[in-house]
C-alpha cells in the first residue's frame, strides 16, 4: 500500500476486522481537497485493499470530473453478500469504523450491497448522516431502485452517438452485466429508441441481432435474477461468458466487472462506441489501442457518474425532513453527464489523447487547484 501512495493520496487507509463475525474490511480515503471522502461500499468474497484503493482514486477523479465538491473514498468488506450472516458482518464493519463515520466517510452502495443494507448501516451508525442510498421509507434516495447510474450511462451513450454522427434510434447495443446498472441502462436506451441485441449475467448471455425484448428482460430479472438468461426463450441465442463483448453491435456497455477489456479485445472490438458502465473495465494500453482505432470511448468516471450526482443530492438531504425529488435528480444527471461526455470526447480529439487521459487531466487540474489553495500541494 505504501508503494501506491503518490501526490494525490491515499490520505488514510483503515483496515478493520472482527473475530466473532469473521468480518474483514478496509476503508480508503484517497483525497479530500475538494470535500470529505465519499464513495460506495462493496462486499465480495475477494475484495482487496489494492482494489479498494484503485476505486477510491477513481472516485477522486469522478467527483472532480463532474465538478461536485466531495473527495475520493471507497470501502470494502471481504464476505459473501448472499450469506445469512451478511447483516451481522455489516454491523460489525460499521462499528469498527465508528471513528471515521460519518465525520470522514459516509456509507453508500456498490457491488454486493442494496438499499436494505444501507438501512442496516444507517441503523448501526445511529444517524441518518451515516449512509446514503437508503430506502424511500427512511427518507433516502434508493439509487438501485431508481436506476440512476444506468440512466446516466444511457444518456452518455446518446451524447457519444451524437458526436459520432449516429442516431440513437436504431442504434444496436450489447450490455455486459444485467444488474442494477446494466438493467437501468437497457431500460433508458429502449426509451431513447436504441435496440439492445445482447445482454449477459453471471449465468451466461443472450443474443438476438433483431433486438431483445427489454421489458421482458426486466421482468425476468425481477423474478429470476441472474437466471433470467435461462428463462427468456424464443429465438435468442445463448452466449458463453465473455461472448457478449464481441457480438456485432454499434455500442458496447461493459457494466459488470473491472479489467475485462485487454489489448487483444481492444484490437478486435466490433463496436464503434464504448461506454464504460462498470468501474475500471479497461486497461490504459487497451484505451490507447481503442483511441488509435477511432472507437469513441466514454470513460467510466464520466459514464457511470450518475450515481455520484444522486449521492451528492442524498448527502445534502441526510438531515432534511424533505425527501429528495427523483425527477430533479434525473434532470441533473442528464445535463451533467451529457455535457461531460461531449466535452471529454472533444478534448480528446483536440489534444490527440485518449478520452481517459483527457477527462483525467481536467479532473486533476481541479483537484490540484484545490490542493494548492489549501496548502496541500506546492508548485
- For residues 296 and 52, the answer to whether their CB atoms sit within 8 Å is no
What phi and psi, each to the nearest 5 degrees, are found at residue 55? -70, -35
What are 142's three cell numbers? 434508493
Given 38, 62, 74, 272, which residue is catalytic? Answer: 74
What are φ and ψ of residue 198, in 5° steps?
A: -155, 145
Contact predicate 155/333, CB 8 Å: yes
64: nearest Cα among 355, 305, 363, 376: 363
DSSP 107: B
**Grid coordinates in use for 355?**
478520452
The alpha-helical segments, DSSP class H, found in the chain are 49-65, 86-96, 115-125, 143-146, 148-163, 180-192, 214-224, 228-231, 263-268, 284-293, 300-303, 306-316, 326-351, 355-373
Report d(CA 202, CA 239) in Å as an integer. Answer: 11
Length of the chain, please? Answer: 379
Cα separation, 199 vs 42, whole angstroms: 23
Distance CA 201, CA 228 (A): 8
Q: Regarding beta strands 296-298 and 37-38, do their DSSP bridges make them parallel or antiparallel, or are they unpaired? A: unpaired
* Beta-strand relationship, 71-78 and 237-239: unpaired
In angstroms, the CA 375 to CA 352 distance is 33
Angle (CA) 16-20-23 rounded to 5° is 35
What gap in Å lies between CA 81 and CA 116, rounded to an integer? 12
Distance of CA 98 to the CA centre of its chain: 26
Question: How crowded is residue 99: how many other Cβ atoms within 10 Å of its Cβ?
Answer: 8
The yes-or-no answer on residue 74 being catalytic is yes
- Active site residue ranges: 74
Amino acid at each position: 500500500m505504501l508503494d501506491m501512495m503518490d501526490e494525490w493520496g491515499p490520505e488514510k487507509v483503515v483496515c478493520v476486522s472482527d473475530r466473532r463475525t469473521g468480518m474483514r474490511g478496509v476503508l480508503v480515503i484517497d483525497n479530500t481537497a475538494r470535500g470529505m471522502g465519499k464513495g460506495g461500499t462493496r462486499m465480495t468474497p475477494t475484495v482487496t485493499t489494492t482494489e479498494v484503493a484503485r476505486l477510491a482514486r477513481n472516485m477522486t477523479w469522478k467527483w472532480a470530473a463532474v465538478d461536485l465538491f466531495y473527495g475520493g473514498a471507497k470501502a470494502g468488506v471481504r464476505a459473501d453478500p448472499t450469506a445469512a450472516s451478511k447483516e451481522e458482518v455489516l454491523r460489525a464493519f460499521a462499528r469498527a469504523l465508528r471513528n471515521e463515520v460519518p465525520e470522514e466517510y459516509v456509507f453508500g452502495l456498490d457491488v454486493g450491497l442494496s438499499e436494505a443494507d444501507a438501512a442496516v448501516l444507517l441503523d448501526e451508525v445511529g444517524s441518518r448522516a451515516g449512509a446514503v442510498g437508503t430506502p424511500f421509507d427512511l427518507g433516502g434516495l434508493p439509487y438501485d431502485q431508481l436506476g440512476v447510474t444506468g440512466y446516466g450511462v444511457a444518456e452518455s451513450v446518446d451524447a457519444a452517438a451524437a458526436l459520432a454522427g449516429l442516431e440513437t434510434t436504431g442504434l444496436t447495443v450489447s450490455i455486459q452485466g444485467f444488474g442494477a446498472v446494466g438493467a437501468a441502462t437497457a431500460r433508458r436506451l429502449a426509451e431513447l429508441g436504441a435496440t439492445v441485441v445482447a445482454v449477459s449475467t453471471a449465468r451466461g448471455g443472450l443474443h438476438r441481432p433483431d433486438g431483445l425484448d427489454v421489458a421482458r428482460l426486466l421482468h425476468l430479472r425481477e423474478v429470476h435474477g441472474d437466471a433470467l438468461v435461462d428463462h427468456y426463450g424464443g429465438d435468442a441465442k445463448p452466449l458463453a461468458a465473455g461472448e457478449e463483448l464481441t457480438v456485432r453491435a454499434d455500442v458496447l456497455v461493459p457494466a459488470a466487472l473491472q479489467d475485462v477489456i485487454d489489448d487483444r479485445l481492444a484490437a478486435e472490438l466490433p463496436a464503434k462506441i464504448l461506454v464504460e458502465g462498470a468501474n475500471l473495465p479497461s486497461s490504459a494500453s487497451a484505451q490507447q489501442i481503442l483511441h488509435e482505432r477511432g472507437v469513441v470511448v466514454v470513460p467510466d468516471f464520466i459514464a457511470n457518474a450518475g450515481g455520484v450526482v444522486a449521492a451528492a443530492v442524498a448527502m445534502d438531504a441526510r438531515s432534511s425532513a424533505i425527501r429528495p425529488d427523483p425527477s430533479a435528480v434525473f434532470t441533473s444527471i442528464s445535463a451533467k453527464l451529457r455535457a461531460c461526455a461531449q466535452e471529454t470526447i472533444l478534448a480528446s480529439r483536440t489534444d490527440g489523447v485518449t478520452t481517459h487521459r483527457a477527462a483525467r487531466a481536467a479532473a486533476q487540474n481541479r483537484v490540484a487547484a484545490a490542493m494548492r489553495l489549501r496548502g496541500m500541494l506546492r508548485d
